[in-house]
């Protein structure tokens, strides 16, 4: 489980490149929605920090490198090697991690009101920014819907391997629910 710190040059270069392309007209959102144009990585970091401030439990955050030079921004709660911990009785209990996938246009902040409760169960909990959203990398997606779906599913599988998780419970909202279902159909044993 290797995470890059959010100040890594690689991450800034990728996001900055997208910001420049996003606002110069080549990839900018339609003119009817001019306020949805990214500003800067530092602005995103400050905004996310404010959104996550109400969380009262300890968590880690960082980039998880996946295939093709991409990375997924991840918040982790109750992380334990091999997804196990020792209870007060000394009996080892395996707790399957809960992985949260946000909806379209969202990010890890979507779950802010739920994270403390989910983490309070003692189970490992992860909230991800899916590819193309939040602080994760922004690869080019194919125009074919099936190809885009496969890219989301493969990125989630790459993330799972990078985190060393054998099994996981997926909880998705909106687009995250769709990706969770597509993943479960492709990897039912996970």
Question: Residue ranges of the domains in the chain?
Answer: 9-186
Q: How confident is the model at residue 129 (pLDDT cuts 50, 70, 90)?
A: very high
Q: How confident is the model at residue 93 (pLDDT cuts 50, 70, 90)?
A: low
Asked if residues 138 and 93 have their Cβ atoms less than 8 Å apart, the reply is no
Q: What is the dihedral of CA 114, 97, 5, 131, to 10 degrees?
A: -80
Asked if residues 162 and 66 have their Cβ atoms less than 8 Å apart, the reply is yes
Q: Nearest to residue 83, comparing CAs of 163, 146, 139?
A: 163
The CATH number assigned to the domain with range 9-186 reads: 3.40.50.1820
Q: Nearest to residue 64, comparing CAs of 138, 2, 12?
A: 2
pLDDT digits (tens, 9 = 90+) for 28-59: 444 444 444 556 888 889 999 999 999 989 99
pLDDT digits (tens, 9 = 90+) for 130-155: 999 999 999 999 899 999 999 999 99
The pLDDT value given to residue 28: 43
- Tokens at 151, concatenated: 């890219």
- In this prediction the pTM is 0.75
Place of tokens 């009996």: 91
């Amino acid at each position: 489980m290797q995470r890059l710190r959010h100040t890594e040059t690689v991450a800034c270069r990728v996001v900055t490149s997208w910001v420049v392309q996003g606002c110069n007209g080549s990839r900018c959102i339609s003119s009817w929605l001019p306020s949805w144009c990214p500003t800067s990585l530092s602005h995103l970091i400050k905004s996310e920090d404010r959104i996550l401030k109400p969380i009262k439990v300890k968590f880690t955050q960082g980039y998880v490198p996946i295939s093709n030079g991409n990375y997924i921004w991840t918040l982790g709660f109750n992380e334990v090697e091999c997804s196990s911990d020792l209870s007060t009785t000394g009996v080892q209990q395996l707790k399957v991690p809960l992985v949260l996938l946000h909806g379209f246009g969202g990010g890890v902040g979507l779950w802010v009101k739920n994270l403390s409760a989910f983490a309070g169960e003692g189970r490992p909990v992860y909230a991800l920014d899916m590819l193309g959203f939040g602080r994760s990398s922004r690869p080019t997606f194919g125009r074919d819907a099936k190809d885009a779906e496969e890219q989301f599913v493969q990125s989630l599988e790459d993330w799972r391997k990078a985190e060393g998780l054998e099994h996981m419970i997926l909880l998705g909202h909106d687009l995250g629910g769709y990706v969770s279902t597509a993943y479960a159909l492709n990897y039912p044993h996970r």
